[in-house]
Amino acid sequence: MIPTSHILVFSLALFTIGLIGVLTRRNAIIVMMGIELMLNSANINFIAFSQKLGDLAGQVFSIFTIVVAAGEVAVGLAIIISLYRNKDSINVDDMNIMKG
Amino acid sequence: MVFYVLASLAVVSAVMVITRRSAVHAALFLVLTFFCVAGIYVILSAEFLAAVQVLVYAGGIMVLFLFVIMLVPLEARQLRPPVRHVAGSLLLAGLLAASLISFFAAAKGPETGDGIQPLASGGGNIETVGLLLYQRYMLPFEIASVLLLVAMIGAVVLARKKV
C-alpha cells in the first residue's frame, strides 16, 4: 500500500506544473491543458483520501469533477474558436477586450 | 513499484506538455499523462474512475483539443509569443508547493468517519459507487446533467459562424 503522503506529493507536483503552464504560456490552448492538469491533480487527491478513509464518496466527487472538466473544456475551446474568428489570434495577451 | 514508475512518467510528460513548442506535441504528451493517471487510479482501487478517465479525458477531451488545434492555422498557434513572468510564476508555484508540503508534514492522519461506504475488498467497487451516486448523491447527479446540457448549448452557440 502506497503512503497517502506520496500520492499527495505527486498530485502537488502535477498541480504545480499545471499552474506554471497556465501562468507562463501565452498559447490559449496550452493554458487550457494546464487547467486540465490541475483538475486531474484535484481528482488524484479525492481518490487518495477516498482510499485512505475507506469512503467511496471521494470517487463520486471525482466523477463530478470530471463532468465539470468536460463542460469547461467544451465551453473554453468554443470561446477560443470564437476569439480566433474575431481577433485572428489565440495569444492570451491579445484577449483584453473586457478591459473597456 | 508500479506507482512510482507511473507517477514519474506522468510528471515528466506533464512537464513536456507545458514546455513543447508545438500544440500537437503538447496534446499527445497530455494523453500520456492521462493514461498514467488512469493507471494510478487502478492502483488506488478506483477501477471505474480509471475507465472514465480513459473514456472522457483521453478520448473525448483530447479529441476536442486536437479538433481545435487543427481549426486554428499553424502560424497563429506556433507564432511563439515570448514566455513571460517565468521567474514570478516559478516563485509563486514554489511557495505554494513549499507551504503545502510543510502542511502535509505537520498534518495528523485523519480519523475514519462514521456511516461511510466501505471499499470492496475484491472485485472492484463499481456497484457501491453506483448505489452511492444514484441514492445519496442523486441531486448533485441531476444538477451535473443540467450543467452538461448548459455547457453543450453554450459551446454550440459560441462556436457558431456568426457571434
Cβ-Cβ contacts under 8 Å for A49 (sequence gap 6 or more): A4, A55, A58, B110
Cβ-Cβ contacts under 8 Å for B80 (sequence gap 6 or more): B21
Query: Phi/psi class of residue B25: alpha, beta or left (left: φ > 0; alpha: ψ in -120 to 50)?
Result: alpha
State ipTM.
Answer: 0.91
**A55–B113: do the CB atoms touch at under 8 Å?**
yes
Distance (Å) from the C-alpha of residue B68 to the closest C-alpha of chain A? 7
* Cross-chain CB nearest to A90 (options B72, B116, B140): B72
Contact A57, B105 (CB under 8 A): no
**A66–B163: do the CB atoms touch at under 8 Å?**
no
Report the DSSP beta bridge partners of residue A27: A91
Residue owning grid cell 495569444: A91
**A60–B129: do the CB atoms touch at under 8 Å?**
yes
pLDDT of residue A1: 72
Mean pLDDT of B122-134: 80
pLDDT above 90 coverage of chain B, percent: 41
- pLDDT one-digit tens code per residue, A23-82: 888 888 999 999 999 999 999 999 998 888 888 888 999 999 999 999 999 999 999 888
pTM: 0.87
- pLDDT one-digit tens code per residue, B71-115: 887 666 655 555 667 888 888 889 988 888 888 777 766 555 444
DSSP letter string over A26-85? -BHHHHHHHHHHHHHHHHHHHHHHHHHHT-THHHHHHHHHHHHHHHHHHHHHHHHHHHHH
Distance (Å) from the C-alpha of residue A14 to the closest C-alpha of chain B? 6
Scanning B88-127 for CB atoms below 8 A from A yields 88-90, 92-94, 96-97, 100-101, 104, 109-110, 112-113, 116-119, 125
Average pLDDT, chain B: 84
Cβ-Cβ contacts under 8 Å for B162 (sequence gap 6 or more): none
Distance (Å) from the C-alpha of residue B24 to the closest C-alpha of chain A? 10
Distance (Å) from the C-alpha of residue A64 to the closest C-alpha of chain B? 7
Q: How many A×B Cβ pairs under 8 Å?
A: 234
Q: Which of B146, B8, B128, B48 is nearest to A62 (CA)?
A: B48
